[in-house]
Structure 1
Amino acid sequence: MLPRGDALSAWATAAQQLLPGLRVAALPKGEGALVLLGAEHDVEQAALQVETAIDCLRPDHVGLELCQKRFRRLFPLGLAAFAQLPPEERLQLQAKLRSGKDQLSAAAAAHRLGIPVALCDREVRVTEARLLARLAPGDLVAGSLAALGLNWDCPEALEDAVADCIIRERDKVLARRLSTLPGLALGVLGVRHLEGVLEHVGKATGIWTQMWTPCAQLPPGFKREV
């Protein structure tokens, strides 16, 4: 049974308490529902809790903040090959990741449960090209020096371009693709994208939601059966 209305809200509020490493939001869409997990990409606790959420909710689809190129970086031999590695080796590979721990964990959990995975982000090459097109050469040099910690102020033009090209534009792409996933869909994305994606999904569906506050426990019997 798909969570709807009060049941969906109750699950989201309970999940927020049980998954303190994530920000949880949910809203109905069409005949299904969309649950969003906002995570810090480099935090091990968040990655583990993403897996817990997928195990509990058993969604029909899992949407990732990845494009094909970034997916191949995480799984150069494919997701099935990664799943066949010994558990210790999988954990070692995840521990070595500087970023994307949540995405790897979500993809692996979905594969283990036979849940389709959707790559919902814009191609990284498009994002890089749009960012570079916004910036003058001097801004790029100044930004590079600031990133190296050389006591150089980061230009405002660079900050604005990053906010637009890296965050806001991709919020729209993620929202559009996540909202089209049928049934009960679960999206795993960086916490900085969560509010923007919610805003755009709300505009598309005419339904607004919020990040939920904690409650005592999961509603009895809510865990989906497969």
Structure 2
Amino acid sequence: MERISDTMQRLVCADGKEITLIGTAHVSQDSVDEVARTIDEIGPDRICVELDEGRYRSRTEVQGWENLNIKTILKENKGFLMLANMALSSYQKKLGTQMGVSPGDEIMRAANLATERNIPLSLCDREIQVTFKRAWRLSNLWNKLKLISSLLTAVFSKEEISNEELERLKETNVLQSMLDDMAKELPTVKRVLIDERDQYLASKIYSSPGTRVVAVVGAGHAPGLVAHIEKLDRNEISDDVTSISSVPASSKAGHIISWTIVIALLGIIALGFIRSGWDQGLEMFLYWFGLNASLTGLAAILSLAHPVTIILSMLAAPVTALSPTLGVGMVAGILEASMRKPRVKDFEHVSDDIMTFKGWFSNRIIHALLIFMTTSIFASIGTFIAFPLLISRLGGAA
């Protein structure tokens, strides 16, 4: 491996194939210029980019959030995933606006040059939805909440980053320190977003046709890519990425735990009827009903939900608590989206509105997701609070 600069490395494979790897900052004009200059100098017979088919189409075709169906997303239990996706996109847009470029402009510059000069183009990244779904599916609830809170903190932060600081992020030691921190805080997210994609990108770049290849990727992937490509060239690892190209099935343990909670709740209430008679059992049931309903209602009120959403969500909360597949957040979000249907301007301004406190309440798409999130969290708190309180009442009744 030959290090040409802090951001560029050249690997010569055993078969004579040369791969020039450019590690870029996704919101840097310097990166855009460097990509164009390098392609001019090398004259590659293949350009590889850190894009998948879906993201490439989204950059080359006129489409966007207008294709979003908020009710479908909530019905498919993808509310938290969509919030994380929106927050990440908005943060990148925020940085891009500050730097005067759009996120990923350097990647698209490489792709456009390939088209203009009839150079074969390889889209080497894993499908973004597979990546997000894997990260989400493999993370526990606590890490999911930490991920969303981290993204939202970044979105609302008023701190600005200078162009010099941004360029410094492309330095290997700085990046590695940041990745190490991510591994400590969000190990699953780091593994899926960085490590797995390093493996996937390396496999696709290494196996791409051509003898002079220029590969344009985010700087965070460069060290891992070099390591994987060198191992591939020495036949130390396989280029098969099937195992990381699909979304894992839902954990059976999660389903078991969910149903165990439901059965335990019903068992405690049933025991109240058996041990202490109808009056005590009914009192325990109403206590549990009121706890779930009141916390859900409080969440909806604090989120400024529609009155109908508040009332129906409160009534639905105890029922949905007994169904691991039907959450009150989903019900509340769908109700809100039905009572206050998203407007054209809501779709057009999603990326901007999510960056302001006011936007979370004025944009009907984001508002529905906010209500989904708050009612889900408060209802979960209600369920777990119910256990010790009901047990104490059961003990008192005995």
TM-score (norm 1): 0.69
Among candidates 200, 207, 222, match of residue 194 of structure 1:
222
Match of 1:48?
33
Match of 2:213?
185
Cα RMSD, aligned residues only: 2.7
1:102, distance to aligned residue in structure 2 (A) = 1.1
Among candidates 202, 218, 231, match of residue 203 of structure 1:
231
Q: Counterpart of 1:149 in 2: which secondary structure?
A: helix
**Structure number having the greater strand percentage:** 1
Distance 1:108 1:95 in 2: 19
1:155, distance to aligned residue in structure 2 (A) = 9.5
Seen in structure 2, the aligned counterparts of structure 1 residues 67 and 158 have a Cα distance that, compared at 3 Å, is: farther
1:200, distance to aligned residue in structure 2 (A) = 0.5
1:53, distance to aligned residue in structure 2 (A) = 0.4
Seen in structure 2, the aligned counterparts of structure 1 residues 95 and 169 have a Cα distance that, compared at 3 Å, is: same
Distance 2:109 2:49 in 1: 10
8 Å Cα contact 1:140/1:158 also seen in 2: no
**Structure number having the greater helix percentage:** 2
1:136, distance to aligned residue in structure 2 (A) = 2.0
Match of 1:120?
124
Deviation per residue, 1:159-186 (Å, 9 max, x gap): 1112100000000111111011221111
Q: Give the AA of the match of 1:39.
A: T
Give runs of aligned pairs for residues 38-117 of structure 1, distance below 5 A.
38-76=23-61, 95=100, 97=102, 99-117=103-121
Task: Say if 2:135 is the partner of 1:131.
Answer: yes
Among candidates 140, 144, 148, match of residue 148 of structure 2:
144
Distance 1:139 1:178 in 2: 31
Seen in structure 2, the aligned counterparts of structure 1 residues 61 and 139 have a Cα distance that, compared at 3 Å, is: same
Deviation per residue, 1:11-64 (Å, 9 max, x gap): x63xx3xxxxx6111111213211100000110111111011001101010000
Seen in structure 2, the aligned counterparts of structure 1 residues 75 and 165 have a Cα distance that, compared at 3 Å, is: same
Task: Say if 2:7 is the partner of 1:23.
Answer: yes
Distance 2:54 2:100 in 1: 21
Seen in structure 2, the aligned counterparts of structure 1 residues 155 and 102 have a Cα distance that, compared at 3 Å, is: closer
Q: Give the AA of the match of 1:40.
A: A
8 Å Cα contact 1:26/1:35 also seen in 2: yes
1:146, distance to aligned residue in structure 2 (A) = 3.1
1:65, distance to aligned residue in structure 2 (A) = 0.3
Among candidates 177, 194, 217, match of residue 167 of structure 1:
194
Match of 1:221?
none
TM-score (norm 2): 0.40
1:137, distance to aligned residue in structure 2 (A) = 2.4
Aligned residue pairs, count: 172
Q: Counterpart of 2:186 in 1: which secondary structure?
A: helix
1:157, distance to aligned residue in structure 2 (A) = 7.5
Seen in structure 2, the aligned counterparts of structure 1 residues 118 and 161 have a Cα distance that, compared at 3 Å, is: same
Q: Counterpart of 1:122 in 2: which secondary structure?
A: coil
Ranges in structure 1 where 5+ consecutive residues have no aligned partner: 1-7, 17-21, 78-93, 208-226
Distance 1:62 1:158 in 2: 35
8 Å Cα contact 2:21/2:214 also seen in 1: yes
8 Å Cα contact 1:135/1:157 also seen in 2: no
8 Å Cα contact 1:64/1:119 also seen in 2: yes
- Mean Cα deviation higher: 26-35 or 136-145: 136-145
Q: Give the AA of the match of 1:33.
A: E
Distance 1:126 1:37 in 2: 25
Q: Counterpart of 1:42 in 2: which secondary structure?
A: coil
Q: Which has the higher contact order (CA 8 A, sep 6+)?
A: 1
Q: Which has the larger radius of gyration?
A: 2
8 Å Cα contact 1:135/1:158 also seen in 2: no
Seen in structure 2, the aligned counterparts of structure 1 residues 120 and 166 have a Cα distance that, compared at 3 Å, is: same
1:113, distance to aligned residue in structure 2 (A) = 1.8
